[in-house]
Amino acid sequence: MNAQINNDELDKLNVEALLVKDLNANAMVYSKEAYKEVKPASLTKIMTAMLAIEQGYLYRPVVITAEMIRVEPTKAGYKEGDIVILEDLIKAAMIESDNDAAMAIAIAVGGNVTTFVEMMNAKARQIGMSNTLFTNPCGYDIGNHHSTPIDLLQLAEYAIKNPYFNDITRLNQHAYNEILSGRKFVAKTHNHLLNRYEYAVGVKTGYTSKAGPCLIARAKKEGKDCLIIMLNSKENRWTVARQIFEQVFLQPIDTFSDKV
């Protein structure tokens, strides 16, 4: 077996949906409600970040407008007229989940929010997200903004093929400056696994009142690579993810040497 998963224990977890994939074996080792329509919350920002990364010109300056900062709740705190490098906006949106950064990305990359949302949905279709509709770049529960666990897995697997994206998702924090004033910002991660679990390498947290606590988590250990999609968890996300990773990483002694 590629992974030692205790299905009975995972079945008991109070989570709306849960997927566990062994990326090395390209095998789903646990699945609960894979095709259920869910609210993706800030997991949405993976798509927002990827569109910016793929467009390129990451070191170009972005002038902050009133529309970009008319958001709640998580914000970096930009002011109208500030100039911020696009790369810093991407990191702020991914690491701290700053909504003003995500809006700034959308307008800078798409020209306006409407066009950027169209780009998000076109990309979703292109990479096989067959039951996803994005209505905004931040993850707000606006309109029929929705996805499914299997689609979010598709998005995560697509994103982690990009080395630049992976470098960002490993970061605990990112310090940067506004260009004109030199004012300092520090984006700090909400992903507690990055601080407490040595094998964690990303990816993104999310939360809204409708979506509940959400998590896409990835960990790598001794050649093993595992991805977890967890939606609307009433459990401790960090404890559950760590326990799942350790189950997946537990290998038969005849196939993996003990390096601990």
Identify whether 130 is a catalytic site residue: no
Distance set, CA 82 to CA 64, 65, 162 (Å): 5, 8, 29
- Catalytic-labelled residue, pool 31, 32, 42, 204: 42
d(CA 26, CA 30): 12
Give Cα separations from 129 to 19, 28, 122 (angstroms).
Answer: 15, 17, 10
- Amino acid letter for position 205: T
Whether the CB-CB separation of 112 and 58 falls below 8 Å is answered with: no
* Residues 6 or more apart whose Cβ sits within 8 Å of residue 56: none
CA dist., res. 3 & res. 225, Å (int):
11
Map tokens 């994005």 to a residue: 134
Which among 37, 24, 45, 34 is positioned nearest to 203, based on CA atoms?
A: 45
Annotated catalytic residue, options 31, 97, 147, 233: 97
Q: Distances from the Cα of 79 to the Cαs of 21, 25, 70, 107, 166, in angstroms? A: 41, 47, 10, 16, 29
Known catalytic membership, residue 42: yes
Set 21, 32, 39, 45: catalytic member: 45
- Considering only CA atoms, which of 145, 157, 135, 161 is closest in space to residue 216? 157
What is the chain's length? 260
209 assigned to active site: no
| Residues carrying an active site annotation | 42, 45, 97
